Structure 1
Amino acid sequence: METLTIGRIKLTWLNGGVTHMDGGAMFGVVPKPLWSKKYDANEKNQIELRTDPILVQKDGTNLLIDSGIGRGKLTDKQKRNYGVTEESSIDDSLKALGLSTEDINAVLMTHLHFDHACGLTRYEGESLVSVFPNAAIYTSAIEWEEMRNPNIRSKNTYWKENWEAVQHQVRTFDEKLEVLPGITMYHTGGHSDGHSVIVLEDAGETALHMADIMPTHAHQNPLWVLAYDDYPMTSIAAKQAWQAKAAEKNAWYIFYHDALYRALKWDENGDIGESVKRERR
């Protein structure tokens, strides 16, 4: 498993499964001859997107950024539609680190779309139960409201199977929430109305998790936003603002979806400098 340290904060990427989504949808109005130079597509025009939660450890506290696509939650039709070739094996990843799902103290949900939230629950017989029974689950108040009351468009990604069993664990915030000193969630909107980013800071070092307003390194250009975004102009504005802050602090960018990079830094010319590549297994 790949790791990165930000001061006293240790990040470890777990195995949350993989999807293959339509490349055109993932790059919106950007023509394929442009985006395909930066990110490969298969014969179905799908691009590989990991759904790998990030274990964040600081001072004996275990946090998780998002939850993966789960195991045994998707129908065969859904697996075909979303190009799922591997489901989550979070238990195995944690076991290799000497941990279990019961050791997770909090789950930081950037948003609650199925590919981020399916891993919150699992089937125990015919019933759904919490995967992380001892964790507080943090998300923005706007996101939590839409999760429970989706509209005609968002009901395709906000599923009751992912929230009903864990609603007693959910804690919401409005504009920002410092989960631990130096680990803060900020509401941005854009991809979804309640979407959030996460900033990790310690010992003069910074990492920024842009979640789905920058799902991969190929989305570096502020104008390259997803057709899935509910509010694309909000995504663009948020990307510009947070990229400017990241540049000031020479921050790492960390990714949940990227199939090539776990983390990287861009230099002043926009070229990739330091990086942590995903190991192909």
Structure 2
Amino acid sequence: MESLQIGRAKLTWLNGGVNFLDGGAMFGVVPKPLWGKKYPYNERNQIELRTDPILVQLDGKNYVIDSGMGNGKLTDKQIRNFGVREESSIDQSLAELGLSTDDIDAMLMTHLHFDHACGLTKPAGDGYTSVFKNVAIYVSQVEWDEMRNPNIRSANTYWEMNWKPIQQQVIPFEQELTITDGLKMIHTGGHSDGHSILLFEDGDDTWIHMADIMPTNAHQNKLWALAYDDYPVTSVHQKEKWMDYGYKNKAWYTFYHDAYFRAIKFDETGSRIDQVERERYEYD
């Protein structure tokens, strides 16, 4: 597992699973000759995407950003359609660090699409139960409302089995929430109406988790929005805002989906000045 110390915060990437999605969908209106230079693709024009939660250890607390692909919840059809090659092994990742799900103090959910929220619950008897029991689950109020009442488009990704078992643990917030000194969740909208990012500032040390507004290093271009985005223009404006902010502060940008990089640091011009590569594995 890769780790990165940024100021008081230690970030460690857990194994949340992997899937392969259509590259065109992940890059929206951007032509393949352009995005294909930035991110590898296979013979089916699919790109490899991790779904790896980030453990944030800060001031004696353990926080986890998003929850991975989960286990035993997808049908054979969903596994095929979503290109899932590996499900989560969060328990094993935590065990390697001497931790368990009981040691997590809060879940920080950027949004609740299935590839981010399936790891919140697991099969139990004829239903489902919470994985991170008695843990606060933070998410924007807009996202929580849509999760429980999806529209005709979002119903394909907001699933009842991912929210009903944990509804008593959810603590929604409006525009901004301070998790602890220096760490905030900020509602941006864009990818989903309730999408949020995370911002950490500790003196001169800054990291920004853009979640699915910039899911991979290849999405650095401010105009490159996903076809999956419900509000792509909002995504573009929010990316512009937070990339400009991060460049000015030489921030690290962390990734949940990138199969090649865990984090990248940029200077004031947007040029890469440091990076943490992901250890690569091959999938059959």
* TM-score using structure 1 length: 0.98
* C-alpha separation in 1, matches of 2:99 and 2:179: 21
Q: Is the 8 A contact 2:248 2:268 kept in 1?
A: no
Corresponding residue for residue 135 of structure 1: 135
Q: CA deviation at 1:127?
A: 2.2
Distance 1:98 1:202 in 2: 26
Deviation string for 1:226-250 (max 9, x for gaps)?
Answer: 0000000000000000011101211
Q: Secondary structure at the match of 2:99?
A: coil
Contact between 2:6 and 2:207, CA under 8 Å: does it hold in 1?
A: yes
Shift, 1:78, TM fit? 0.4
Alignment of 1:1-281 (within 5 A): 1-281=1-281
Q: What letter is aligned with 1:169?
A: Q
| CA deviations over 1:36-75 (Å, ceiling 9, x no partner) | 0000111111100000000001121110000001010111
Summarize deviations over 1:144-164 as a string: whole Å, max 9, x none: 000000000000000001000
Q: What is the letter of the counterpart of residue 39 of structure 1?
A: Y
AA partner of residue 264 (structure 2): L
What amino acid is the match of 1:139?
A: V
Amino acid at match of 2:85: T
- The alpha carbon displacement at 1:104 in A equals 0.7
2-structure distance, mates of 1:15, 1:45: 24
Change (3 A) 1:179 1:269: closer
Report sequence identity in percent.
Answer: 66
Is the Cα–Cα contact under 8 Å of residues 104 and 134 in structure 1 kept in the other structure?
no
- How far did residue 268 of structure 1 move? 4.0
Aligned partner of residue 85 in structure 1, secondary structure: strand
Aligned residues: 281
- In the TM superposition, residue 204 of structure 1 has moved relative to its aligned partner by 2.3
Deviation at 1:179, TM superposition (A): 0.7
Aligned-partner Cα distance in 1 for 2:212–2:128: 27
Equivalent-residue separation in structure 2 for 1:209 and 1:270 (angstroms): 16
Tell me if the contact between 2:250 and 2:268 (Cα under 8 Å) persists in the aligned partners.
Answer: no
Q: Note the C-alpha offset of 1:84.
A: 0.4
5+ long unaligned stretches in structure 1: none
SS in 2 for 1:200: strand
In 2 relative to 1, CA 154–69 (structure 1 residues): closer, same or farther, beyond 3 Å?
same
Bigger drift between 19-28 and 195-204 goes to 195-204
C-alpha displacement of 1:124: 1.8
The one-letter code matched in structure 2 to 1:52 is D
Aligned amino acid, residue 213 of structure 2: I
